[in-house]
Structure 1
Amino acid sequence: MDVIFGPLYPKHIKPLADFAKANQIRLVIPFTSKDNEVYSNPYIYQINTPQSYLYSEVYKHFAREFKGANIVIWNAEEKQSDYELTRGIRRLPNRPFTMRILEEGDIAAGAIQGAFSSTQTNIVIPTSNSNAALAKLISQLLATFGKIRDYDIRLFGYPDWPTYVKDRIDDYFEWDTYFYTSFYTNNLMPEAMNFTQSYRKWYSKDLTNTPPKYGMLGYDTGFYFLKGLFTYGSEFENNLSNVKFTPIQIGFKFSRADNGGGFINKQLFFVHFTKEHEIIKMNFD
């Protein structure tokens, strides 16, 4: 046996990880990102990136992508607020961009425009990942700057934002929107369309429309490992970046955990809805 995929439930990870380690079998954990077995078991591959690793990648690529911009952090003051993202961006050493903070009081007092630059690209990040906060933000930006504006304003947000596409796609294009994610499928991509059609034919139902789509996750994960093992055999671990295939939803960029642990997938995407009505999946290799 060369590889085990699973388990589904977190309570089964420890006994299965012990079995894999005792028998020197690769264990691919596709679901949870919160289990710690990967840090001490060299045979584990963790597909879903732990938050600490994910944010580290977001900060690195954010600083590179938006060098020279004016970052506007929009404090939504909601229960769903995700301050970890904006806190990390605020704490970046040697920030290659300027930064303004808009508090709720500033927003209520109509002092929005003063936080924006007329000469730099303005990247607006709300502190909440909710659809309601996003709707309120867009409404207030529109009231302040209008549809025809002299300011270059773009939005940057969260992995939850793809689930709002049905309501927000026109807004995403209009406001030149970015969000970060580990999972994304452009449903107009030929590979995605073919997979969706085949899935419907095989199982007589549609894929669930919540990220990640588990059918696609299974396909990408299985294809990557089975092709890699078929191609490289016992040298698979030395060729993790050389496995060639076109993933539908998730990518693979494995990094060995410290102190003899397993492998953690650090693949991250920025998805960009451009004003030209293109959807660009930005892959950072």
Structure 2
Amino acid sequence: MSTVEILCLALLLDAVFGEPDWLWKRAPHPAVLMGRLVGAADLRLNKGQFQKLAGIAAIAGLVLLMLWLGWLLSLFGGLPQVLICSVLLAQRSLVDHVKAVADALRVSLGDGRRAVAMIVSRDTGLMDRSAVSRSAIESAAENLSDGVIAPAFWFLVAGLPGILVYKIVNTADSMIGYRTPRYKDFGWAAARLDDILNWIPARLTALLIALTHHGLAAWREIRTDAQKHLSPNAGWPEAAMARALSVAIAGPRAYHGQMREFPFVNPLGRKELGPDDIDAACGVLWRVWGAFFLTCFIVSIF
């Protein structure tokens, strides 16, 4: 099987079955194993005066390990690659987690806050319905890029080694890529490499969202809003999602008890949001997935 044929099967497998709980109750998920590797590197190397060099060495070692592991596993043929690739994609689980926020919000605001706290890092205790909905929609957009399009893109580029490298770097960024006293130097390499690996996928995700909804008429506005984001990449899918739904997202939010004044994405969009808007965002996720799968399928034919 070709790389694109393997990816098509993996996309289908993930979309149909998602995360098999029965399996991950008996064996550690690959993302958990990657997290343990990053944690071990943090524990052993994040000390002393040369933390930035230690961080560079840590991420270089993890990348080399994933390149070797990906090459080794590729020797076993197409079927293992399909299974591994499907596990490293997150379309079905992403939709399930985002939809759970809408379902919980329909029960009560408190349930909605607790559900959205499972997928965002900001403070949720004082959120109103609109803030809960905005947070879920933002998470849907960003994780569509990080959890689906980016790993699929790097699998197409470099096969199993490519997707494993992307996932270990993305995992490292989520664990140590923070500008805190402990990680601002040690996590620098992980954060920068994650920015590089997500540069094309984030813009590709925004392009897919735009093309499957209102076309490219608002591309200039999407680009303008994306550049306001603290991340060089996350703003792109968020800006495209906001315009696909004709809503305003982002805006002020609290971290660790401190309110921070972030600008709204698509500020002229509707700001009063609810669970129906979260469901609509899930529809965007599936429409983009369908367009991406169809493109890969057509490529596989030729």
Normalising to structure 2: TM-score of the pair?
0.20
Q: Which is richer in helix? A: 2
Q: Which is richer in strand? A: 1
Normalising to structure 1: TM-score of the pair?
0.21
Question: Greater relative contact order: 1 or 2 (C-alpha under 8 angstroms, separation 6 or more)?
Answer: 2
